[in-house]
Amino acid sequence: MINRLESSVQPSVDVPAPVLLARDKEGKRALLEGAAKFNQKPKEGLKFLEAKGIIYDDPTLPRPQSLAFFFKTCPRLDKKLLGEYISRPENLEVLKAFMTLFDFRGKLISDCLRELLETFRLPGESQQIARITEVFAAVYVAAGAHDVKTEDAAYVLSYSVIMLNTDQHNPQNRKKMTLEDYKRNLRGVNDGEDFSAEYLVSSF
């Protein structure tokens, strides 16, 4: 069973685009330069962005939320580096804040994962993937999970969708997972019950 997150998570909130944080020409130039620096060395890039007032500029906004807003709305960031950064243990609060910027209400878990993973690439380490999946599961359930009864069920289903995607797109894997294999792996996961066949078909 997965551990409960230390702090509660809430559904999506409105996000100010970075362009609103850098309205003048100089500010926009600083934004682009900061993103480029992040793509070389994330820590140096964030120091530069803070010095220029692009992030952490609102004293009433917690630092993790300010940084999450920037990550969510700046398209110039390297997706691989972003995934590695937010999945580190020391950046857990940023990861939580980042997840709450998505609107997962009433959506299939596979569709939510697809939307999420358009913004960053999953890191290669299993612990980092598990951390991302755990936070995602908590946010998804808090938003009103679609046919998923618990955070544990959401976690297992999310991880299975990720592994399914890896399986289907691995050219070296000659024996692809079938729908029946997928259903079998998820038996009894939904709080002791099976997910509906229709739900699993839509996720496959």
Active-site annotation, residues: 125
What pairs with residue 193 in β-bridges? 190
In sequence order, which ranges of 22-145 are alpha helices (DSSP H)? 25-40, 42-51, 63-73, 79-86, 92-99, 109-116, 126-142
Q: How far is CA 94 from CA 87, 103, 192, in A?
A: 9, 17, 32
Q: Are 99 and 87 in contact (CB under 8 A)?
A: no
Amino acid at 69: F
